[in-house]
Amino acid sequence: MELLKRRILEDGKCFEGGILKVDSFINHQMDPLLMEAIAKEFAKRFSHERINKIMTIEASGIAPAIMVGYIMKLPVVFAKKKEPKTMINALTTTVHSFTKDREYPISISSDYLTPQDYILCIDDFLANGNAALGMIELIHQAGAHLSGMGFIIEKEFQKGSELLRKKNIHVESLAVICSLDNCEIVIK
Q: How far is CA 63 from the centre of its chain?
A: 10
- Check residue 113 and report its DSSP letter: S
First to last CA, the chain: 11
Burial 87-125 (b: 16+ CB within 10 A, else e): beebbbbebeebeeeeeebbbbbbebbeeebbbbbbbbb
Which stretch in 30-38, 42-50, 69-77, 130-138 sits in contact with ligand 5GP by CB under 6 A?
130-138
Does 173 interact with ligand 5GP (rule: CB under 6 A)?
no
Do the bridges between strand 90-97 and strand 102-109 make them parallel or antiparallel, or are there none, so unpaired? antiparallel
Nearest to ligand 5GP of 6, 21 (CB atom): 21
Which stretch in 4-12, 18-26, 33-41, 142-150 sits in contact with ligand 5GP by CB under 6 A?
18-26
Which of 12, 64, 69, 129 lies at the binding interface for ligand 5GP (CB under 6 A)?
A: 129
Does 27 interact with ligand 5GP (rule: CB under 6 A)?
yes
CB burial of residue 30 (10 Å; 0-12, 13-18, 19+): middle
- Residue 40 Cβ, how far from ligand 5GP at the closest point, in Å? 21
Does 55 interact with ligand 5GP (rule: CB under 6 A)?
no
Which of 29, 89, 99, 116 lies at the binding interface for ligand 5GP (CB under 6 A)?
A: 99
Q: Which residues bind ligand 5GP (CB under 6 A)?
A: 19-21, 27, 60, 98-99, 123-132, 160
